[in-house]
Structure 1
């Protein structure tokens, strides 16, 4: 099957739902990775923790415990 035929067959299909699971540790590691430090304990300390708003974009890139690993089209 040629690439254009494959693309035409997939065009207009929706992908299945993806599920993400995470813990306070994942939020803290992400906060540290993007530069949060001691001056922002709400992002790194597990009591009354807040997630950095951009943490919500990580499932899109498939970087944190996402099931299924690769999105598949629903038929």
Structure 2
């Protein structure tokens, strides 16, 4: 898994885009007290459910792999 350039910024952008996506769909309302890890996992599962991104094999799902996958997704958004 090759790290993206500025991956931390892409992860932050992925959280913002994912929160906006989920709230527009009306399936989630994030609270200010929700942790970044919780938001990332929810966004990942939602995008996989909606077939926006390819799922990781279940034995490879970890916080780090979710962050990487969502950073790649965010980097490809307009």
Range class of TM-score, shorter chain:
0.3 to 0.5
Give the structure, 1 or 2, with the largest relative contact order (CA under 8 Å, sep 6 or more): 2
The structure whose residues are more often helix, as a share, is: 2
TM-score of the two chains, using structure 1 as the length reference: 0.32
TM-score of the two chains, using structure 2 as the length reference: 0.32
The structure whose residues are more often strand, as a share, is: 1
